[in-house]
Chains A and B, each alone.
Chain A
Amino acid sequence: MDCSPKNPAARRYQYRLFTAMAFYIAFLVTAVWAFSRYHVTGALAYLLAVLPALPIVGMVVVVGLYLAEEKDEFQRAVLVQSLLWGIGATLSVTTVWGFLENFVQVPHLDLYLVFPLFWFFVGISTGPLKAKYK
């Protein structure tokens, strides 16, 4: 999980994650370009819209693979707990914001922002969790 991972599972994780990110950028640029140029409609529009989400799904799978492959129990435990804190915080924020949207008409939170929001919370919780075990 560090910048220069020492174990093979973490190395594979980083490699797969960067590959998925590269696909995400490529697919997002393709979708934006196609929609701005061709005014796609119908089923093709849905297929093209889903394109940038595929590498995101890939990233989720990559994290699952890492958890299955990681031999270092400490690293695995820290990541699992960070992910749980991340989803707890994300669900809290989306629920609060959802009720605010329904009752008070606050600005709409785009659904694709849930994924970066989740990782933001995972990132925040990783530090304190690592410090707790030191």
Chain B
Amino acid sequence: MLCSFKNPAEHRYVIRMWIMAAFCVLFSFVAALVFRLCHPHGVLSYLVAVLPALPIIGALVYTGVYLAEEKDEFQRNLLVQSLLGGTGGILAVVTAWGYMVDFAHAPQMDLVWVYPLFWLFAGISYGIVRSRYR
């Protein structure tokens, strides 16, 4: 899906995701730099801290937009099933990890890892679902 653009919706989706990824990197640098150099306080510190999360929310919105725009039902179903697989995977892992942190004092997992981990599971399920339809 990332390498070949078969239809306009897919093409738009990939471009939008790359733009969001670029903004995420940029905003992360900006936030880190502002906190290092300016030490913001109060409301401003919250606003700067949230900055890198905005492109990630944008990427989620664009995934929804892609699902709405995609005309190819097979491709849409493939992505929906992958997202559901990713949902199941991430919920299982964070719940298990959460209880291990709480009861067995396992190392804390940073909440920002939930999003990339979700896409890892979605990617794994994409491969599985795709191979099932071959």
Contacts and interface: CB of A to CB of B under 8 A. Distances in A.
Chain B associates with chain A: yes
A67 B122 CA distance: 17
B8 interface: no
Contacts of A80: 80, 84
A108 B108 contact: yes
A115 B94 contact: yes
B48 interface: yes
A113 interface: yes
A52 B83 CA distance: 25
Contact of B91 (A49, A101, A104, A114): A114
A48 B99 CA distance: 9
B80 A100 contact: no
A97 interface: yes
Contact of B111 (A53, A60, A87, A109): A109
Contacts of B9: none
Interface residues of B, number: 48
Contacts of A91: 56, 60, 114-115, 118
Instruction: Output the residue of A64, A83, A96 with the most chain B CB within 10 A.
Output: A96
Contacts of A87: 83, 86-87, 90, 118
A94 interface: yes
A110 B92 contact: no
Given A46-B104, A110-B102, A103 B48 contact: yes
20 contacts: A45-B103, A48-B104, A51-B99, A53-B96, A53-B98, A56-B96, A57-B95, A61-B88, A84-B67, A84-B80, A87-B83, A95-B111, A98-B110, A99-B52, A102-B112, A110-B98, A111-B95, A112-B95, A114-B94, A114-B98
Interface of A: 31, 35, 40, 45-46, 48-53, 56-57, 60-61, 63-64, 67, 80, 83-84, 86-88, 91-92, 94-104, 108-115, 118
Question: Which 10 A/B pairs are nearest by Cβ-Cβ distance?
Answer: A111-B98, A98-B111, A112-B98, A98-B112, A103-B49, A49-B103, A53-B96, A45-B104, A49-B104, A94-B114
